[in-house]
Amino acid sequence: MRWRADQGTYGIGFIIINTLISSILGGLLALPLAVLTAIVIGRIASPKVSQGLTTVVETLAAIPSVVYGVFAAGRITSLVDNLASLFGITTYGGSSQLAVIILLAIMTYPTMTSLSISGIRAVPLTLDSASLALGATKMETYFKVVIPGASSSIVAGFSLGLGRAFGEATAVSMVAGNALFGPTTSLFDRTRTLTSTMLSGLHETTGLDYDIRFSVGIVLMAIILLTNAAIFGLKRRFDKRAQGV
């Protein structure tokens, strides 16, 4: 539960916990916004408005990570610092776990939205008509027919979004603060993720210190694989329950 490379201490237990917390919370924050945006684009908006919003989402997905990092370092950290001051909490200039969560939510939002749009557009419009004919309102149709029908794409988008959140390094390093011990228990405290650990001081490291950072990358890959397997495993279980199997 402590990382002090200068003392030869390379504990990554707290770093794994911090990575899971910040990435999953960031993904969960982005998911409902992504699904609602996809509903607007895929079902509610006119073709011209839908095309314009789709272009905006695709543009957000194409923005380089370092640009998000600069934005987060200048704006998100300031927002977090001001929010903390309302509760009488002092932050490290806004660098905190909350800043990382907000940043990752913004970065994963385009990926989740794009795949959700594809899934929603793949749901036949005849299902909407049948639902409305049975007396359901439009909102009931969207939430009880369209979204469940697009659940595979929504889950895939969430999984890919988490993959980006887990693997983001440059932007996260700019707002995490790189805590030396943990896990981080307060949203306003500094944190450290696996990717920020790998990136921090990488150009100056050699020998065992370099090998340790490479090993951190292997741990990160294992966490991504296990998380994706867990997500799709839960989806299959829910599908079976829905089908009464």
Stretch 131-139: mean pLDDT: 92
**Percent with pLDDT over 90 in the chain:** 62
> Whats the size of the chain, residue-wise?
245
d(CA 90, CA 104): 22
- Look at strands 9-10 and 3-4 and give their pairing: antiparallel
Tell me 63's DSSP state. S
Q: Which domains does the chain have, with CATH numbers?
A: 11-239 (1.10.3720.10)
Q: Which are the contacts of 147, defined by CB distance < 8 A and separation ≥ 6?
A: 35, 39, 120, 154
Stretch 85-112: mean pLDDT: 92
Question: How high is the pLDDT of residue 241?
Answer: 67
* Per-residue pLDDT at 88 exceeds 80: yes
Are the C-beta atoms of 24 and 105 separated by less than 8 Å?
no
* Per-residue pLDDT at 50 exceeds 70: yes
Query: ∠160-166-168 over CA atoms, to 5°?
Result: 100
* Per-residue pLDDT at 244 exceeds 60: no
pLDDT bracket for residue 44 (50, 70, 90): very high
Category of 242 on φ-ψ map: left (φ > 0), alpha (ψ -120 to 50) or beta: alpha
pLDDT bracket for residue 210 (50, 70, 90): confident
Q: Does residue 241 or residue 161 have the better pLDDT?
A: 161
pLDDT tens sequence across 143-171: 999 999 998 899 989 999 998 899 888 89
Stretch 118-138: mean pLDDT: 92
Q: Does residue 201 or residue 231 have the better pLDDT?
A: 231
Are the C-beta atoms of 31 and 23 separated by less than 8 Å?
no
